[in-house]
């Protein structure tokens, strides 16, 4: 069978960068194959997809070399309308893909541009919305959707065009665990129906549930591995991408020396002073029904608090109430002992620094340096202090070398780190992050979270508490000393990870799917005493006496 997709010696250098983003990449894909594309943040995965879907060279300018053939033909000679019917792309950031005011018109947008008759468009939209399980969102305004809901709507718009090749750029990044499983089941179904799928994903353990035929692994812009999943697991560095715990056990001795020391996060203290208090808080948007109901909770000094729960459960709304971006319908939110009704957002920002889920909601400056300097300048700090704060924040997230780059020239994961640095530079007392690790490889986000944990729990703490919304259970059990689970606008669990993530009813209601690391932690909890991140649990299992002596 002739390949549907052929790439030969593909090299591309962005106009604003001195080095190629991808270099000398060659492969072929048969019709109906599913390929998992993995690799560290900034290794060239998204650049590869942009070359395949025509955004390079149409929208992203630079030096392009090599050849791409789809069905034996050169797609660069096609108009975009024809290319979009051959190659459909789900972007990493759904904010960039939503174009209409409501879901129906957003999914119909591509078909309208192709000139389909109205009755056929409505039939096709209904068919796709039903297939994705989001028919109930048909008339919903797109601005009211959660991040995960926006991603599914964006996918519906792509599938409506019935492309032969489907490019999925980090499709699990904004989905709760159960929704991610549902999405993977959908991708398997599309694969069985004959779609050719290239799935770019950092969450390799989850992505393997889609049963890809092959794995492409990119490093430094080059194709370092092309083979079947089992061969990949025998060669992969478990500290680079998120793999099953069984792979950690096999591969850890070979990579142990590359992994630095981790920050120890102490248990949460129920008697610590409260920093934020939710006092019987309810909230709804406009004239709509309540989306949060009677929230009674505290964020306390020394907390490293992970907030888990389904897409659309109200997690982000809860934190926006703490920031003063929203005001409660009923009840009170207290920050620093004062009601948010009596404080401006700017005043609250001195206490709470908030990193939005989507970088496109925050980024605006021409350079990374200017982006990160904006907050401390706005707070009236002198220039030398601003410079010191910016340098400190960029060094913490590993982006000092990108200080003069445009934020829009960076990968999605790097953009996330810019937004975190822009909040860190303000030195707020509580650091609040909405999906801080989405779009980043395992090594990058573990080092980032270690660096952030060091500011909160190291020898000279610079913040009083960490709060992060995440769908990543492994992140929560590795970095949280306390977990909230929010579902249907209610706080259904509040406690240490060992308690919350061992409650089957909380797991079910919160749409939380156990990972291999969580299962291993549960299995050995009576010996370890508390949940452990992957490398610590491996060390314990390999040499428990040495582990106990060190920790």
Q: How confident is the model at residue 101 (pLDDT cuts 50, 70, 90)?
A: very high
CATH assignment, 3-92+164-254 = 3.40.50.300
Q: What span, in angstroms and rounded, lies between the C-alpha atoms of 228 and 226?
A: 7
Question: Cα–Cα distances in Å, from 531 out to 203, 446, 500?
Answer: 20, 16, 11
Question: How far from the centroid of its chain's Cα atoms is residue 182's Cα?
Answer: 17
Q: What span, in angstroms and rounded, lies between the C-alpha atoms of 290 and 384?
A: 47
Q: Are 148 and 435 in contact (CB under 8 A)?
A: no
pLDDT value, residue 1: 66
pLDDT in tens, 111-147: 998 889 999 999 999 999 998 889 999 999 998 887 6
**Better pLDDT: 330 or 413:** 330
What is the fold, at CATH topology level, of the domain defined by 274-515? Rossmann fold (3.40.50)
pLDDT in tens, 148-196: 788 889 989 998 988 889 999 888 877 788 888 888 888 888 888 888 9
Q: How confident is the model at residue 549 (pLDDT cuts 50, 70, 90)?
A: very low
pLDDT value, residue 256: 79
pLDDT in tens, 206-255: 999 999 999 999 999 999 999 999 999 988 888 888 889 999 988 888 87
Radius of gyration of the chain (CA): 23
For the chain, helix (H) and strand (E) counts, in that order, are 22, 19
pLDDT value, residue 551: 47
The mean pLDDT of the chain is 90
Count the alpha carbons within 13 Å of 60 in the hemisphere toward its beta carbon. Answer: 23
pLDDT in tens, 54-79: 888 888 899 999 999 998 888 888 88
Q: What span, in angstroms and rounded, lies between the C-alpha atoms of 516 and 75?
A: 42
Mean pLDDT of 356-376: 90
Token pair, residue 335, equals 């920050």
| End-to-end Cα distance, the chain | 57
Percentage of residues in the chain with pLDDT exceeding 90? 58
Question: Cα–Cα distances in Å, from 507 out to 151, 205, 305, 438, 490?
Answer: 23, 19, 17, 21, 14
Q: Are 441 and 240 in contact (CB under 8 A)?
A: yes
The residue extents of the domains of the chain are 3-92+164-254, 274-515, 516-551
Question: Cα–Cα distances in Å, from 472 out to 172, 438, 445, 512?
Answer: 10, 9, 11, 9
DSSP assignment, residue 303? -
Q: How confident is the model at residue 461 (pLDDT cuts 50, 70, 90)?
A: confident
E-strand stretches of 285-340: 290-300, 304-308, 330-335, 338-339
Question: How far from the centroid of its chain's Cα atoms is residue 103's Cα?
Answer: 22
pLDDT in tens, 487-517: 999 999 999 999 999 999 999 999 999 999 9
Percentage of residues in the chain with pLDDT exceeding 70? 98
**Better pLDDT: 386 or 254:** 386
Query: How many C-beta atoms lie closer than 10 Å to residue 378's C-beta?
Result: 12
Q: How confident is the model at residue 33 (pLDDT cuts 50, 70, 90)?
A: very high
């Amino acid at each position: 069978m002739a390949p549907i997709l052929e790439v030969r010696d593909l090299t591309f250098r962005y106009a604003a960068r001195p080095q190629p983003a991808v270099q000398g990449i060659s492969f072929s894909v048969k019709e109906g194959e599913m390929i998992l594309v993995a690799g560290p943040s900034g290794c060239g995965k998204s650049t590869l997809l942009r070359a395949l879907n025509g955004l390079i060279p149409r929208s992203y300018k630079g030096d392009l070399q090599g050849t791409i053939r789809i069905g034996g033909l050169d797609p660069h000679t096609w108009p975009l309308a024809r290319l979009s019917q051959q190659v459909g792309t789900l972007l990493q950031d759904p904010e960039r893909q939503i174009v209409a005011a409501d879901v129906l018109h957003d999914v119909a947008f591509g078909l309208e541009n192709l000139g389909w008759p109205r009755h056929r468009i409505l039939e096709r939209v209904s068919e796709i919305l039903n297939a994705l399980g989001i028919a109930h969102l048909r008339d919903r305004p797109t601005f009211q959707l959660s991040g995960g809901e926006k991603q599914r709507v964006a996918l519906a718009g792509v599938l409506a065009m019935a492309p032969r090749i489907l490019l999925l750029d980090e499709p699990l990044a904004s989905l709760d665990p159960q929704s991610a499983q549902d999405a993977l089941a959908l991708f398997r179904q599309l694969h069985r129906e004959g779609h050719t799928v290239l799935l770019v994903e950092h969450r390799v353990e989850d992505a393997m549930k889609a049963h890809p035929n092959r794995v492409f692994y990119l490093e430094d812009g080059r194709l370092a591995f092309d083979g079947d999943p089992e061969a990949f697991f025998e060669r992969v560095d478990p500290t680079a991408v998120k793999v099953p715990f069984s792979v950690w056990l096999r591969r850890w001795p070979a990579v142990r020396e590359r992994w630095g020391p981790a920050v120890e996060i102490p248990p949460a203290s129920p008697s610590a002073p409260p920093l934020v208090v939710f006092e019987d808080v309810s909230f709804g948007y406009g004239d709509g029904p309540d989306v949060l109901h009677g929230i009674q909770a505290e964020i306390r000094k020394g907390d490293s608090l992970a907030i888990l729960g389904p897409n659309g459960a109200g997690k982000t709304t809860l934190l926006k109430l703490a920031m003063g971006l929203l005001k409660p319908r009923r009840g009170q939110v207290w920050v620093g002992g004062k009601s948010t009704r009596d404080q401006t957002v700017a005043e609250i920002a001195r206490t709470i620094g908030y990193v939005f889920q989507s970088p496109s909601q925050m980024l605006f400056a021409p350079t990374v340096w200017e982006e990160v300097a904006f907050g401390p300048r706005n707070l009236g700090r002198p220039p030398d202090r601003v410079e010191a704060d910016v340098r400190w924040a960029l060094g913490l997230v590993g982006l000092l070398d990108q200080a003069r780059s445009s934020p829009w020239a960076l990968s999605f994961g790097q953009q996330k780190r810019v937004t975190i640095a822009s909040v860190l530079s303000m030195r707020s007392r509580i650091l609040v992050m909405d999906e801080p690790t989405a779009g980043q490889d395992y090594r990058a986000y573990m080092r980032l979270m270690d660096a952030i944990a060091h500011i909160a729990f190291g020898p000279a703490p610079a913040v009083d508490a960490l709060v992060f919304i995440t769908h990543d259970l492994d992140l929560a059990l590795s970095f949280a000393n306390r977990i909230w689970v929010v579902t249907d606008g209610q706080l259904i669990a509040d406690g240490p990870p060992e308690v919350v993530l061992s409650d089957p009813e909380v797991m079910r209601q919160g749409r939380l799917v156990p990972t291999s690391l969580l299962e291993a932690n549960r299995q050995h909890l009576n010996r370890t005493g508390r949940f452990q991140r992957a490398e610590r649990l491996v060390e314990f299992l390999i040499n428990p006496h040495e582990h106990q002596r060190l920790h």
